[in-house]
Amino acid sequence: MSKPYVYVTRKLPEELLHVLSQTAEVECWEETDKPVPREILLEKSRNADGLLTMLSDKVDKELLEQAASLKVVANLAVGYDNIDLEEAETRNVIVCNTPDVLTDATADLAFALLMAAARRIPEADQYVKKDKWHGWAPFMFAGADVHKKTLGIIGMGRIGTAVAKRAAGFDMEILYHNRSRKKEIEQDLGVKYAEKKELLEKADFVCVVAPLTTETRGMIGKGELEQMKKSAYLINVSRGPVVDEKALIEAMQNEVIAGAGLDVFEQEPIRAEHPLLKFPQVVALPHIGSATTATREEMAELCARNIAAVLKGEKAETPLN
């Protein structure tokens, strides 16, 4: 009997797919950093038993309808807003994501962004490298304190909790807003639940870690930005569309808030001419929340194990359905 066929939508190191290659014939898209064109993804998925996908691959109704032999999709991310989970479910396609393995790396990055925005690290770095530092001044690159300030976390899942743990080390007061209250976390970490408005009004840093869903799309808009303190910073490591970018640009122009640290954008990759990138008080990163070598390797291996398990008729480690 021939091996099942698995298509991987980016070039990944062979050793990370080793487990999968024992079970399936594996083909990778030839590029490491460019998404597979839609037509090729559709063509490959027509014969695929499994797909290893990235955030930029739309696994939608059109794709699922024509992928008659597809049994499993493993997404190299904890978020899965690129996948029509309901449609996959009706077609008995198992969908897997990569929770847990990326929690700490992503929380580290959220905190790094917060620190970078508050202490103006990218601006100061450029100042030194561009040879602009000719003398010391008492208020040169004076930023905002982080220690003992209030952090508001929107979305208290695994990553939100890990961000709270880091903030505790900075003696921060921590407020959180979530669909459901997390009494255990409140007790363990001393964090307090707040309604969104209260959190926005009180926080010096608002960190968005909620997944993109129909409820969270545009959840931080003009009104929410206006509820924030003028001295506050917005940090987003979840998905771009959770924040209304037009409203954020206006908020920056009118100094409604002090700054932002953004790892995600409405349209990715964002282009350099985008108005949001003109503000020195906006720190922008190319969606690298989970991008440490160790974490990305673990994510890829988890995807490979999940696909191999389903193709062998076993239970996946991290199925969503």
Supply the residues annotated as catalytic.
239, 268, 287
Task: Report the distance separating Cα 7 and Cα 5, nearest Å.
Answer: 7
Alpha helices for the chain (secondary structure H) = 18-23, 38-47, 61-66, 85-90, 103-118, 121-129, 158-168, 183-189, 196-202, 222-227, 245-253, 293-311
Task: Report the distance separating Cα 3 and Cα 308, nearest Å.
Answer: 11
In the set 6, 26, 72, 76, which binds ligand 8YV (CB under 6 A)? 76
φ/ψ (deg, to 5) at 95: -115, 130
Contacts 24+ apart (CB under 8 A), 243-248: 243/208, 243/218, 243/219, 244/218, 244/220, 245/276, 247/220, 247/221, 247/222, 248/220, 248/276
Task: Report the distance separating Cα 23 and Cα 71, nearest Å.
Answer: 14
In the set 17, 102, 113, 200, which binds ligand 8YV (CB under 6 A)? 102
- Judged by CB under 6 A, the chain residues 123 through 162 that form the site for ligand 8YV are none
In the set 51, 52, 78, 172, which binds ligand 8YV (CB under 6 A)? 78
The one segment of 113-121, 146-154, 214-222, 286-294 that binds ligand 8YV by CB under 6 A: 286-294
Q: Does 79 bind ligand 8YV (CB under 6 A)?
A: yes
Tell me the closest approach of the beta carbon of residue 305 to ligand 8YV, in angstroms.
17
Q: Does 73 bind ligand 8YV (CB under 6 A)?
A: no
Query: Residues 19-58 vs ligand 8YV: string with x where CB under 6 A?
Result: -----------------------------------xx---
Query: Residues 184-223 vs ligand 8YV: string with x where CB under 6 A?
Result: ----------------------------------------
φ/ψ (deg, to 5) at 73: -125, 125
The one segment of 175-183, 220-228, 285-293, 300-308 that binds ligand 8YV by CB under 6 A: 285-293
Residues in touch with ligand 8YV (CB under 6 A): 54-55, 76-79, 102, 287, 289-290
